[in-house]
Structure 1
Amino acid sequence: MDGIQHYGAFLAACVALNLTPGLDTFYILARSGREGHAAGLGAALGISAGCVVHTLAAVLGLSAILTTSALAFSALKYLGAAYLVWIGLRMLLARQAVRVPAETRGRGFAAAFRQGMLTNVLNPKVALFYLAFLPQFIVPHAPHPQLGLLVLGLSFIGTGLGWSLVLALLGARIHRLLQRRPRIGSWMDRACGAALLGFGLRLALQQRG
């Protein structure tokens, strides 16, 4: 695919990251478990809409950096690498704990969609993650890096939406399972932490070319 490298590895990483329990996962589980499948679907679509915003921001913000400014590229690279290593180590070293979903306000599809989107858009860690993760799979000096970033972002959203819909449909059962067996979530955290740590180190060593 023009401008994209290691697309298969990218999709595998997307699946692994989306399967790891996090804020979005437990928000969907909470809405679906408390209000039914419609609210869970609204939450899933709202989170995906927020990811579209982050994808467009990444495309617009990184296009000039990737092609014109070596200093800005390096600054962003090391910032992103440090963040990925930090969250990877936190996941690897975190103590086992039972996750408690945040309280939500409002009921129904529309409220779940709106809150899901705002939770995602207003989370600066999500924006920084997009800026750190997507460029690793763009070919240096690609003729159209914006198109590559857009395809990668939409691919990430697609895999995430698929899993989010599963969570919305099976939310109540999965929620109860993780509440009873927190070790499952703990091991999933460690697996994702190791993956993010590897991506962070790789990003720190990457050359602009």
Structure 2
Amino acid sequence: MIPLEILIPFFTASLLLALAPGPDNIFVLTQSALHGRAAGLVVMLGLCTGLVAHTTAVALGVAVIFQTSAMAFSLLKFAGAGYLLWLAWQAFRASGTRISSGMEPSPGLLALYSRGILMNITNPKVAIFFLAFLPQFASPSRGSVPLQILLLGGLFILATLGVFGGIALMAGTLGQWLNRSQGVQKILNRLAGTVFLGLALTLVRAQR
């Protein structure tokens, strides 16, 4: 449906965009360093599930709402910022000693997966980015535009899985080494809290 001369540049651009420092890959890095490679990979799957939702929304035209409605954009933006602030509070109050003693276990895989979904879906910038990026590579002359959007979104998610998976594995290995020290665990939690706080502030300042 879409020729290779379109798909290859699109996939290359998707890889570069996934590599560029941003809220999602920083989120994967911190969670993987704190809770291990499996946690990072599960967060990655949650983020990519959010991308599925964004792709579907663009294909169905729903994402236009967030581009044209200031209220919808603001509501989603502040919901996402509030969730990030809650994560920051959880990270700042965590104790390295309690984590290492087993009294305060790491979040379960389902919780981490849900965390990834919420992190991605409540970022209206992602919806608008998909709305602006994906249609550039679709054309009515090649058939159904919604099907082309779904295909392009799938390729973008594939690129994201590769890049974020690599980040999760590397950060998880580093985190295993660092977590031998309770003091370092506490520093990692404070660092994660600072990252969540910074992401929340960045989201609050986001403009359409």
Q: TM-score, normalised by structure 1?
A: 0.60
- Distance change (3 Å), C-alpha of 1:159 and 1:104: farther
- Distance change (3 Å), C-alpha of 1:139 and 1:5: farther
Residue 164 (structure 1) shift: 1.2
- Distance change (3 Å), C-alpha of 1:57 and 1:174: farther
Q: Which residue of 2 is the match for residue 12 of structure 1?
A: 12
Please tell me whether Structure 1 or Structure 2 has the larger radius of gyration of its CA atoms: 2
Counterpart check, 1:107 vs 2:92? no
Aligned length: 142
Residue 123 (structure 1) shift: 0.6
- Distance change (3 Å), C-alpha of 1:36 and 1:122: same
Within 5 Å, give how 1:141-152 maps onto structure 2: 141-152=141-152
Q: Is there any run of 5+ residues in structure 1 with no aligned partner, and where?
A: 66-75, 77-101, 177-209
Counterpart AA for 2:57: A
- Alpha carbon RMSD of aligned pairs, Å? 3.0
- Three-state SS of the structure 2 residue aligned to 1:6 is helix
Whole-Å Cα distance in 2 between the matches of residues 18 and 6 of structure 1? 18
Whole-Å Cα distance in 1 between the matches of residues 20 and 54 of structure 2? 20
Residue 133 (structure 1) shift: 0.1
Whole-Å Cα distance in 2 between the matches of residues 171 and 104 of structure 1? 22
Deviation string for 1:139-185 (max 9, x for gaps)?
24442111111100000001101111111111156899xxxxxxxxx
Counterpart AA for 2:88: E
- Distance change (3 Å), C-alpha of 1:4 and 1:129: farther
- Identity rate, percent: 38
| 4+ aligned runs moved over 6 Å, structure 1 | 173-176
Whole-Å Cα distance in 2 between the matches of residues 170 and 120 of structure 1? 22
Q: Which residue of 1 is the match for residue 79 of structure 2?
A: none
Q: Which residue of 1 is the match for residue 117 of structure 2?
A: 117
Residue 103 (structure 1) shift: 2.7
Within 5 Å, give how 1:24-173 maps onto structure 2: 24-61=24-61, 103=88, 105=90, 107-172=107-172
- Distance change (3 Å), C-alpha of 1:54 and 1:29: same
Deviation string for 1:86-117 (max 9, x for gaps)?
xxxxxxxxxxxxxxxx7374713222111110
Q: TM-score, normalised by structure 2?
A: 0.60
Whole-Å Cα distance in 2 between the matches of residues 25 and 14 of structure 1? 13
- Three-state SS of the structure 1 residue aligned to 2:13 is helix
Whole-Å Cα distance in 2 between the matches of residues 2 and 145 of structure 1? 10
- Distance change (3 Å), C-alpha of 1:58 and 1:104: farther
- Distance change (3 Å), C-alpha of 1:118 and 1:104: farther
Counterpart AA for 2:42: G
Whole-Å Cα distance in 2 between the matches of residues 32 and 131 of structure 1? 29
- Three-state SS of the structure 1 residue aligned to 2:88 is coil
Q: Is there any run of 5+ residues in structure 2 with no aligned partner, and where?
A: 68-86, 91-105, 179-208
